[in-house]
Structure formats: C-alpha cells, structure tokens
Amino acid sequence: MVAASKLVHDLKLSSVVPAKIAGDNRARELTGLDLAVKLHYLRGVYFFHGTAEDVPLRIESLKEPMFRWLETSYPAAGRIRRAEDRVAGGGGRPFVKCNDGGVRIVEARSEKTVDEWLAMEDHANIDGKVLAYDQVLGPDLGFTPLVFVQFTWFKCGGMSVGLSWAHVLGDLFSASSFMNMWGRVMAGHASPSPNSTIDGAASTSRPPRSTAIVVSSLRQVEPVGDHWITTSNRTTMRTHTFHLTSHRVCRVLPPNGNRPSCFYVLSALLWKCISKIRGVDWPRAVTVVYSGSPYDRCYLPGNHMAVGTVEAGDSPVSVSDVAELASWMEKHTVSENQRIEEMAGRDGGGKPSDYTLYGANLTFVDLEYADIYGLELKGQKPAYASYTIHGVGDEGVILILPWKGVGVGKRGMNGWTITATLPGNEGLELQKEIKSNAAFI
C-alpha cells in the first residue's frame, strides 16, 4: 500500500468568507447535544468522473459561489469562543462566534485516476484523512476553522470534493445540505435568505444541575481543554465499507403485517454479526442515531438528530432471528436526547466534563435519507459519495448510507453503503460474517 501522505501532493490553502458581514454581536449558543459530540468530526468525500480532455473547473469558479452561500450558512464561517464571565456566562461555556472567520479551502492533486482510487482495497480507511483535510479544533481553539473543503484533481480529469466538518457545528444532514446548497448556488440558483432559515440555536438558559443523570449513550472522557480530540481508544480503529442491495434486505422482511424499517433490519443484522465476532464480549446494549427534524428546511447547520439506546432481550443477539430482532429494536428504543441535554449541557461548576457519543456503545447511524448524492458540479452528480465519523470510541460506529451502484456489473443497483469504523480487523470479519448469512448473499 502506498503511504497515505504520498497519494496527494501540491497542497495549497486559502480561505473563503461570507460576501457580507454577519454582524459584530451574532453568536450561536451550543446545545447539550452539540457539546456531547464536540470531539467527533464528519468527513465526506464526493468523487466525480472526468476525462483528460475535460476542461477542469478552476478554483475561482468553485470558490466564488461560497462567498454568497456563506451569507446564509454564516455559522460555518465562525469560530469557537468561550464565555468570559464565569458566573453569568456559564463557566467558560463554548459558543460559536459568527465573526466571518471563514471556511478553509484546500487544493491538492493525485497521480491516480478516480477509478484507480476507488479500486484501492483500503480507500474507505484513508479517504477521510487524505481527500478531506484531517484537522481537529484546537489547540488554538479560537482560530481553527470549523469547516475545510478540499478539491483534489486526478490525472484522469476527474476530481473529488472533500468536506471536513466539526460535528459541534451540525450533524451529517446539515453537512450534506451545506454541500448541496453550494452546488445549487454554483449552478445559478439563488441562495436562500438568512431570514427564511430555521435557527437551531439553544436558549441561553441552562438545564438544571443534577447529580443523578445516567446517559448510557455517552462515555465521559478526561477533559480536553482547548484541544478537542480524544485519544482514549484502547485499540486502533479502522474503517471498512461494503454495499448491500435493497432486494437482499427484502428477503428477511415478513411478507405482510407491521414491517420494521430497513434501517432496523440492517442494524439487527449487523448487531447479530458483531455479537458472533465478539463472543462473550458481545454488546448487550447499542445506540441508534436517526433523523430528528425536517432537514430540507434547515439552512443553518445544527445537531437535530435523535439519539436512543436499546438493550437486548432475553435471548443472545447472536442466535436471534434478524426480522424479530429488528422489530424488537424498533419497539424498545429509548430516547436519550433530554438526558443528554441535561448532562452535557449543564453548568459544571467545578471540573468540566467531556464526552464521546459514537462508540460509547456500538452505534448505528441512520443516514438512509441523507442526500449525499445531491451535490452537482457542471450538471454531473457524484459517481460515488460517502461519509465517515472520526473520534469514535472503542465499541465502534456503523453508518448506513444510501448507495448508487457504480462500476462493472453494479450500475443501476441501488441500496446501502455500510461504513463500519470498528476495532482492529473487525470490519473485515464483519464482511465475511455478512457473506456467510445466506439471506444476504
């Protein structure tokens, strides 16, 4: 395998700011859920085919629409600040200062073609580190951009667009909507008025303090100060991607009656397979993250997802029927959003607390309806698009994303991309276990 650092070269950095200033006193308060995911980062990569004869998009034509779009999505151009008044301001509680600091732009080149890149066996593990700028917030917290957009040109004339997005700013639906709207503005559509957006900002009032809050979907970590990164993993986490087509999932659904959703069917299958792999250490409880609001109307970014947990029933998951387990999960998922708000959003008063959500339990994320193929450049949709989450805890996270088949024998095959960030070689073992399940072959 070629070293990741050698796969792209000629990196250039610049910035884009809103075309009009947001105003001196505009700020966005952070909710408890925002703070609960502040150590997590989203990485999205969109691949576009091209030929050597194509006239490549110039960086100026890619950046120019962003000036106008950032007028609407102005929090993305802000920076993290802390409240100065420790009594009235919440003990140095972070917030987003909408100071027009800007989005960082990265230009890069690769000597591979798009097809050669996608054919690499481990590309899923490196896409979010090489084709999306690998940056975390801090240690100079007030100067670190919340968003990086990287353009990588391949020798075939194709290109990739990589997004590095601080999860504290918003969830994956917000991130993909941000990219899609940039494409629409580039195509000549008017950007939505800031006055028509829905502001997901929290009230300045704080949840009441409590010493009895238990949130099973969060894991407390050592305070990180102004360098928002967690290094508490006991083992190396690796990302693997594979695909399942819709007709395979339909095979395990009951012919009639109340069918569980496809997300829960896939989650049940994956939970069962991982339980087999982990043996006596199989996960008794899992976290599910799913859509929590009408994202098509939310132009300002925010964390609107719903978070819940579900515990296994009396039978071991490894021997459960997939359809029955899916129905159990759907009926017994317990919402944790309010408790997350109370725990992560409260004023500490003493030693501050930081948390991880993804990977505190084995976590399944429902992104089936995220429009990750909605970004359009020069009238062309992505040949392939995917997202990953960074900063994942030891139990791992599995993203269930939409997939549009590309490549020989796969065109027209729609289904799901399963992006699994798991300890060690569990991702490879998971793929083998899936293939051994006759219903999904």
Other beta carbons within 10 angstroms of residue 135's beta carbon come to 16
CATH of domain 4-199: 3.30.559.10
Residues linked to residue 37 through DSSP beta bridges, in sequence order: none
Bridge partner residues of 307 (DSSP): 289
Separation of alpha carbons 45 and 23, rounded Å: 32
| All structural domains of the chain with their residue ranges | 4-199, 237-440
Mean of the per-residue pLDDT values for the chain? Answer: 85
Do you know the residue count of the chain? 441
Q: Is residue 84 very low, low, confident or very high in pLDDT (cuts 50, 70, 90)?
A: confident
Q: How far apart are CA 314 and CA 320, in angstroms?
A: 10
- What is the pTM assigned to this prediction? 0.90
CATH architecture of 237-440: 2-Layer Sandwich (3.30)
Q: Which residue has the higher pLDDT, 392 or 436?
A: 392
How many Cβ atoms are within 10 Å of 229's Cβ, its own excluded?
Answer: 13
Between CA 366 and CA 373, with CA 367 as vertex, the angle to 5 degrees is 165
**In degrees rounded to 5, what are phi and psi of residue 35?**
-70, -30
Q: What is the DSSP letter of 244?
A: E
Render pLDDT for 185-216 as a digit per residue (tens, 0 to 9).
998 887 776 544 434 443 434 444 445 567 89
How far is the CA of 259 from the CAs of 59, 262, 271, 316, in angstroms?
48, 9, 18, 22
Amino acid at 125: N
Could you check whether 4-199 and 237-440 share the same CATH topology?
yes
Q: With bands split at pLDDT 50, 70 and 90, how would you rate the model's confidence at 425?
A: very high
Which of 14-23, 136-145, 200-209, 232-241 is predicted most confidently? 136-145
Q: Which residues does residue 162 pair with via DSSP β-bridges, in sequence order? A: 45, 150
